[in-house]
Amino acid sequence: MNPTPGVTQGLRDDSAVRRAAMIVIDEFGESAADFAETRAIALQRQGDNMGAARWRRIAPVIEEMQRKKRAGSN
């Protein structure tokens, strides 16, 4: 039994966002964050608010991962 409802779900969501970010980075490289932001806008225009929200969560994670990678390579 989870004493704090929602915490486990949040952790699973975070790992899913990180996995998605890694996949997008592998596919689009330095353009990955731009792709995620563009995808969010496209889904919003199509009326898919949940899909757009997911991509809006992925874009900053991509930026963070790429920033850390660049800082580590210096």
Nearest to 37 by CA among 26, 13, 21: 21
The residue extents of the domains of the chain are 30-74
**Does residue 74 carry a pLDDT above 80?**
no
pLDDT at 12: 55
- Tens of pLDDT, residues 1-44: 444 444 344 445 689 999 999 999 999 999 999 999 999 999 99
Cβ neighbourhood burial of 24 (10 Å; 0-12, 13-18, 19+): buried
pTM of the model: 0.78
Q: Max Cα separation, the chain?
A: 45
- Tens of pLDDT, residues 51-61: 999 999 999 99
